Amino acid sequence: MLAATEKIIFTGPVGAGKTTAIGAIADTPPVGTDVPCTDGAWALKSTTTVAMDYAYLLLDDGTRVHLYGTPGQERFDFMWSILARGGIGLVLLVNCDHPDPVAQMEFYLDAFADFIRETGVVIGLTRSDLAATVPLEAFQARLLERNQVVPVFEIDARNPEDVKVLIHALLAVLGH
């Protein structure tokens, strides 16, 4: 019998740390589809994910929880709904050194609005330790204006404990 499968979706803009966050908690190194950047994203990183990242968590009963990272570039947004279908919940990562990270957050909340309504979302703010970044309170205030009281935490995507806290918050949102 095939083991049961479930999936958690990681999304966010280019350079937000999706691949890194998945790698921080997965049992397997992320299998990526990274290619050299040929558009404006080259300024942020040398390669980018064009289809998805993939890794999994193996649970004690043999269940695999798939961790999918969506491609960050918006021209691949047709992949997002395909990847999200059947997912448990959404992890949205936003890099705070973006010129307008609050708008980035809103863009992804809107893009995944239906999926979020059916499941849940948590938001991880990466690179918040860099100078002159937008403070956490700005994200919280905008979420409150949108009537969305969702978890939003500062994280280091390389730190497994930070990513685990994010997932635990997602589980709490989902009713665990």
Nearest to 69 by CA among 121, 17, 109: 17
Residue 153's nearest CA partner among 166, 170, 168 is 166
Q: Which of 51, 88, 102, 138 binds another protein (CB under 8 A)?
A: 88
From the CB of 150, what's the least distance to another protein, in Å?
Answer: 7
Smallest separation, CB 105 to another protein (Å):
13
Q: Is position 176 an interface residue for another protein (rule: CB under 8 A)?
A: yes
Q: How far apart are CA 156 and CA 37, in angstroms?
A: 24
Smallest gap from residue 119 Cβ to another protein (A): 10
Q: Are 10 and 32 in contact (CB under 8 A)?
A: no
Residue from 60, 78, 117, 131 touching another protein (CB under 8 A): that is 60
Are β-strands 89-95 and 121-126 bridged in parallel, bridged antiparallel, or unpaired? parallel
CB 24 within 8 A of CB 160: yes
Nearer CB in complex with another protein: 97/160: 160
Tokens 């095939």 belong to 2
- CA-nearest of 128, 176, 172, 127 to 150 is 172
Distance of closest approach, residue 47 Cβ to another protein, in angstroms:
27
Which listed residue (43, 131, 132, 149) binds another protein by CB under 8 A? 149
Question: For binding to another protein (CB under 8 A), which residues are involved?
Answer: 6, 25, 57-61, 63, 65, 88, 136, 140, 143-144, 149-155, 161-162, 164-169, 171-176
